[in-house]
């Protein structure tokens, strides 16, 4: 599997070049907390104003990755992963439902679906290819990566993979660990590509991986290996008690 493009957005680093430089320079990189929002120029201006944060994050990273790969988003099947979905909307909706359910906002409801980023992305880019929205608890990044890679191999086409999460809000913030808003995207291609940022070999193993409860850290071990460029094998969670062993090379 070839990586043809990478996108990244967090409070600390707003693109792959910036994150890669920090990953090369330091063992400890945190995506960072804060309220800045990405530009998400893949979306039309009116959508940028009203789209929920996970949509902005996912579309920002996805747009970066497609631009780097030089591939038109309209033709790429896409897989969007998130541990929690839109925790801000979950909080707002549950609060409204507890107070007066008939005040529930129709827009908030249709934005609450787990596939909101996939929906906004395919509408904005005119993409009629298959789109997916997946989750696998702390293994969401790994499971989404596997799903995208499997689809790329099964249909012999490049596939866009994006993962994002946002900080928990309200009472939910005491229950789930999610603090650093982030998004990552990879364009995966089964055949040779130019540019080729890395080659990945994925193997599913029924053994656990070390993991951080905050979703924003899940992608960093793989991204660090890609940034360093040396051949290595890393293990990332793709579920409870299962993992992906990812061989990373050039």
Q: Minimum Å distance from CB 248 to other proteins? A: 19
Alpha carbon of 91 to those of 57, 84, 85, 171: distances in Å? 19, 12, 11, 8
Query: How many residues bind other proteins, per CB under 8 A?
Result: 66
Distances (CA, A) of 144 to 125, 172, 219: 21, 24, 11
Residues 105-134 that bind other proteins (CB under 8 A): 105-106, 109-116, 118-120, 122-123, 125-134
Q: Does 212 bind other proteins (CB under 8 A)?
A: no
Beta-carbon contacts of residue 104 (< 8 Å; ≥ 6 apart): 93, 96, 97
Least distance between other proteins and beta carbon 249 (Å)? 21
* Cα–Cα distance measured from residue 162 to residue 77, given in angstroms and rounded to the nearest whole number: 11
Q: Centre a 10 Å sphere on the Cβ of residue 233 and count the other Cβ atoms it contains.
A: 12
Burial (0-12, 13-18, 19+ Cβ within 10 Å), 166: buried
Asked whether position 243 contacts other proteins by CB under 8 A, the answer is no
One residue of 101, 192, 194, 210 binding other proteins per CB under 8 A:
101
Q: How far is the CB of 83 from other proteins (least distance, A)?
A: 7
**Binding marks (x or -) toward other proteins, 41..80, rule CB under 8 A?**
---------------------------------x------
Q: What's the min distance (Å) between Cβ of 241 and other proteins? A: 7
Total residue count of the chain as it appears in this document: 250
SS3 17: helix
Binding region for other proteins (CB under 8 A): 74, 82-85, 90, 93-95, 97-98, 100-102, 104-106, 109-116, 118-120, 122-123, 125-137, 139-140, 143, 146-147, 150-151, 153-155, 171-172, 174-177, 204, 206, 238-242
């Amino acid at each position: 599997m070839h990586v043809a493009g990478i996108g990244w957005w967090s409070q600390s680093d707003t693109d792959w070049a910036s994150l890669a430089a920090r990953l090369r320079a330091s063992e400890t990189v945190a995506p960072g907390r804060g309220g800045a929002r990405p530009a998400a120029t893949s979306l039309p201006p009116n959508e940028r104003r009203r789209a929920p944060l996970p949509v902005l994050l996912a579309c920002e990273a996805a747009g970066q990755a497609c631009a780097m790969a030089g591939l038109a988003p309209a033709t790429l099947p896409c897989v969007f992963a998130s541990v929690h979905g839109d925790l801000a909307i979950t909080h707002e909706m549950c609060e409204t439902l507890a107070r007066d359910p008939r005040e529930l906002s129709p827009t908030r409801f249709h934005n609450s679906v787990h596939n909101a980023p996939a929906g906004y992305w395919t509408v904005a880019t005119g993409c009629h290819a298959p789109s997916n929205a997946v989750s696998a608890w702390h293994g969401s990044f790994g499971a989404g990566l596997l799903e995208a890679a499997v689809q790329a191999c099964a249909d012999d086409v490049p596939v866009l993979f994006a993962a994002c999460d946002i900080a928990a809000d309200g009472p939910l913030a005491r229950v789930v660990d999610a603090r650093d808003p982030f998004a990552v995207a990879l364009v995966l291609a089964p055949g040779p590509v130019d540019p080729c940022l890395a080659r990945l070999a994925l193997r599913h193993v029924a053994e656990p991986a070390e993991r951080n409860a905050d979703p924003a850290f899940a992608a960093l071990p793989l991204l660090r290996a890609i940034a360093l460029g040396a051949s290595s094998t890393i293990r990332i969670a793709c579920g409870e008690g299962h993992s992906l062993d990812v061989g990373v090379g050039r």
